Amino acid sequence: MMKLLFAEDDRDLSAAVRTLLERSGYLVDAVYDGADAVDYALAETYDGMILDWMMPEKDGIRALQEMR
């Protein structure tokens, strides 16, 4: 089973997408800001990440730069 990190600050949208991904067989860790996305990415191993472009704390681009 593939494990995904999903970072989206809109909690309703995040819940909907997470449900769809889980129903499709993915394990999903959902976070709501860029700082948490970086923390999770550095602490866990993910097969893929979906990052919102505009989030609180750090945008998706800055979060990705820090992860790299």
Tokens found for residue 8: 């989206």
pLDDT of residue 21: 98
Amino acid residing at 49: M
pLDDT above 90 (res 59): no
| Mean pLDDT along residues 39-57 | 93
Q: What is the pTM of this model?
A: 0.90
- Number of Cβ atoms within 10 Å of the Cβ of 4: 17
The whole-number pLDDT of residue 22 equals 98
Instruction: Kindly state the average pLDDT of the residues 40-67.
Output: 91
Please count the other Cβ atoms lying within 10 Å of the Cβ belonging to residue 10.
Answer: 12
- The residues, any chain, with a CB within 8 Å of residue 9's CB and separated by 6 or more, are 32, 33, 52, 54, 55, 56
Name the helix (H) or strand (E) containing 65. Answer: helix 60-67
* 62 — pLDDT class (breaks 50, 70, 90): very high
